[in-house]
């Protein structure tokens, strides 16, 4: 059962293209999360701060037996891009550069933002693809115009092509606002139907899908930090596979859902029942304002509600989880800014049905939790693009770890349990590097 490779180079690892040259990061929406991500990377590059919360930067991976004592840093074991090689650009519906937008978001201390000003103010947004029908609370002024949605997609493709000339590889990440709730429709069912819909300005195609279509058409991997439908449709899954442009799930798993996908697996592992889970949040940033619109909230609500059902599997454990009352609320409360407070009241029951309660009060910083996720997704999607075994499968299920709504092949239920997701991610890294998987069986120690 030993690991012969011990983290050394293997045939499988040899096939991964090296991360040489510059990695261009195209960010859609330069708001609180995006500016915290970009400023954070620059602060780390300058040695001013540490990349806390980032698995790619601080995480280790065990190779071989526990007794081998071989746990290299992930970034030294797997060929991911170096932070010094990241180059940023993006789009926004407002003209503010990243310095102005970071100052407006008030996530980072003024001192830090001022220190980084010369770098941050060089990143100026390109005009966005935007339509207020899809985000009611925003009124964009820095937007592209075109004769139809296809024309807009072509303009985004031209932006990508121009950026590609200045860097070696490109990844796109949506850090834009939450769009209204859209159900998959006929226009989403095939690439042909989607392209026809672009011509006819089909209402089922949201701006996020125009960016994603442009990225995938250019062979560029695409990540989605918001709960929008975006690439969760047959047309774009197919395009992702056709053009070897990896995609993953949606909606950064940061605060409350992160806690849910930690606590729920624990209750299930101990066979403790749950009768109710009430979650409420107060949030005062622009994201909170957008989510105050019922149509955008519905998109978020669906994403936040999904996890429990999949973790608890009520069909397998009807006595424990069949009748859970699960409610999620988000209230816009400006005084808190980006510092969200999320409360959870969990009604559980134990031996012989006796009830108990758990209260969680998470005073979190939304964008501080989201920024390292954005970084890791960008670096791992770029790795997937350079890995022959991963690049043409489309959906990268191993990145579920980072997302409230993991994406899976049709007919496959998503894994929401954070610890299963973490194991899946690390085993995928071991696998592509040609190392033995770790199953935690451990019988070999007792031979
Ligand atoms: N912070 C978190 O913990 C967290 C967690 C999960 C998901 N998210 C999601 O991430 C997204 C960003 O969050 P945020 O706090 O940075 O919000 P934000 O409002 O500060 O930033 C969003 C930015 O996107 C821009 N935008 C909107 N539509 C656009 C378009 N079509 N093209 C280009 N730009 C566009 C807005 O002008 C704004 O600058 C939201 O959808 C949010 O729900 C955040």
Residue with tokens 């005062």: 284
Quickly count: other Cβ atoms within 10 Å of residue 242's Cβ: 14
The pLDDT of residue 7 is 47
pLDDT score, position 5: 45
Q: What is the whole-number distance in angstroms between the Cα of residue 276 and the centre of ligand 1?
A: 30
pLDDT in tens, 433-444: 999 999 888 888
Is pLDDT of 380 > 60? yes
And the tokens for 324?
């859970």
Confidence label for 3 from pLDDT (cuts 50, 70 and 90):
very low
More confident residue, 279 or 307: 279
Would you list the DSSP string of 365-432?
A: -HHHHHHHHHHHHHHHHHHHHH-HHHHTS-B-GGGGGGEEE----TT-PPP--HHHHHHHHHHHHHHH
Give the pLDDT band of residue 76 (cuts 50, 70, 90). very high
pLDDT at 301 over 90: no
pLDDT, tens digit, 9 for 90 and up, residues 219-256: 999 999 999 999 999 999 999 999 999 999 999 999 88
Q: How far is CA 117 from CA 51, 61, 433, in A?
A: 19, 36, 39
Cα–Cα dist 337/108, whole Å: 12
pLDDT in tens, 191-209: 999 999 999 999 999 999 9
Q: What angle do CA 375, 191, 413 make, to 5 degrees?
A: 60
Q: Compute the average pLDDT of residues 319-346.
A: 91
Beta strand pairing status for 169-174 and 23-28?
A: parallel
Taking only the tens place, the pLDDT of each residue in 157-190 is: 999 999 999 999 999 999 999 999 999 999 999 9
Structure-token match 């834009």, residue found: 176
CB of 407 closer than 6 A to ligand 1?
no
What pLDDT, on the 0 to 100 scale, is given for residue 9?
54
* CB-ligand 1 contact for 372 (6 Å cutoff): no
pLDDT in tens, 384-406: 999 999 999 999 999 999 999 99
Residue 367 Cβ < 6 Å to ligand 1 = yes
In contact, 199 and 150? CB cutoff 8 Å: yes
pLDDT tens digits, 19-54 = 999 999 999 999 999 999 999 999 999 999 999 999
- The atom of ligand 1 lying closest to the CA of 207 is 31
Question: 96 pLDDT exceeds 50?
Answer: yes
Q: What is the pLDDT at residue 1?
A: 36
Residue with more model confidence, 441 or 74? 74
Torsion-angle region of 21 (φ positive above 0: left; ψ -120 to 50: alpha; else: beta): left
Q: Is 428 in the pocket of ligand 1 (CB under 6 A)?
A: no
The Cα 26–Cα 77 span in angstroms is 26
Q: Could you give the percent of the chain with pLDDT greater than 70? A: 97
- Helix, strand, or coil (residue 442): coil
Instruction: Give, for ligand 1, the residue of 177, 208, 214 to mutate: max count of ligand atoms closer than 8 Å to Cβ.
Output: 177
| Average pLDDT of every residue of the chain | 93
Which pLDDT score is estimated for 74? 98
What secondary structure does DSSP assign to 24-85, as a single string? EEEEE--SHHHHHHHHHHHHHHTTSS--TT-HHHH-B---S-GGG----BHHHHS-PPPGGG
Maximum distance among all Cα pairs of the chain, rounded to whole angstroms: 71
- What pTM was computed for the model? 0.95
């Amino acid at each position: 059962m030993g690991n012969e490779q011990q983290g050394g180079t293997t045939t499988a690892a040899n096939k991964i293209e090296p991360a040489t040259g510059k990695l261009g990061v195209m960010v859609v929406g330069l708001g609180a999360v995006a500016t915290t991500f970009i400023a954070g990377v620059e602060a780390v590059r300058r040695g001013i701060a540490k990349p806390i919360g980032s698995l790619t930067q601080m995480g280790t991976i065990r190779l071989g037996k526990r007794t081998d004592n071989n746990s290299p840093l992930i970034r030294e074991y797997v060929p991911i891009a170096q932070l010094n090689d990241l180059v940023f650009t993006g789009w926004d519906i407002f003209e503010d550069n990243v310095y102005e937008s970071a100052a407006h978001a008030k996530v980072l201390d003024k001192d830090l933002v001022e220190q980084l000003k010369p770098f941050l103010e060089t990143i100026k947004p390109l005009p966005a693809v935007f339509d207020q029908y899809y985000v009611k609370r925003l009124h964009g002024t820095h937007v592209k115009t075109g004769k139809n949605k296809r024309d807009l997609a072509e303009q985004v493709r031209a932006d990508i092509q121009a950026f590609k000339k200045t860097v070696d590889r490109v990844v796109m990440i949506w850090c834009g606002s939450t769009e209204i709730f859209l159900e998959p429709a006929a226009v989403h069912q095939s690439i042909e139907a989607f392209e026809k819909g672009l011509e006819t300005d089909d209402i089922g195609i949201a701006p996020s899908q125009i960016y994603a279509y442009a990225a995938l058409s250019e062979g560029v991997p695409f990540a989605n930090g918001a709960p929008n439908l975006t690439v969760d449709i047959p047309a774009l899954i197919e395009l992702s596979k056709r053009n070897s442009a990896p995609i993953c799930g949606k909606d950064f798993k940061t605060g409350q859902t992160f806690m849910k996908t930690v606590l729920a697996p624990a209750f299930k592992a101990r066979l403790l029942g749950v009768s109710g889970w009430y979650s409420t949040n107060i949030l005062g940033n622009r994201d909170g304002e957008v989510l105050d619109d019922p149509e955008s909230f519905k998109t978020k609500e669906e994403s936040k509600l999904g996890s429990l059902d999949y973790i608890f599997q009520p069909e397998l454990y009807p006595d424990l989880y069949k009748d859970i009352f699960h409610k999620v609320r988000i209230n816009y409360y400006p005084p808190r800014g980006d510092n969200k407070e999320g409360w959870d009241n969990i009604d559980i029951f134990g031996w012989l049905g006796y009830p108990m309660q758990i209260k969680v009060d998470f005073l979190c910083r939304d964008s501080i939790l989201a920024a390292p996720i954005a970084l890791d997704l960008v670096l791992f999607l770029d790795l997937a693009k350079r890995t022959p075994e991963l690049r043409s499968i489309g959906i990268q299920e191993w990145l579920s770890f980072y997302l409230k709504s993991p994406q899976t092949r049709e007919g496959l239920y998503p894994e929401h349990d954070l610890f299963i997701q973490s194991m899946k991610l690390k085993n995928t890294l071991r696998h592509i590097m040609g190392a033995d998987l770790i199953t935690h069986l451990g019988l070999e120690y007792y031979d």
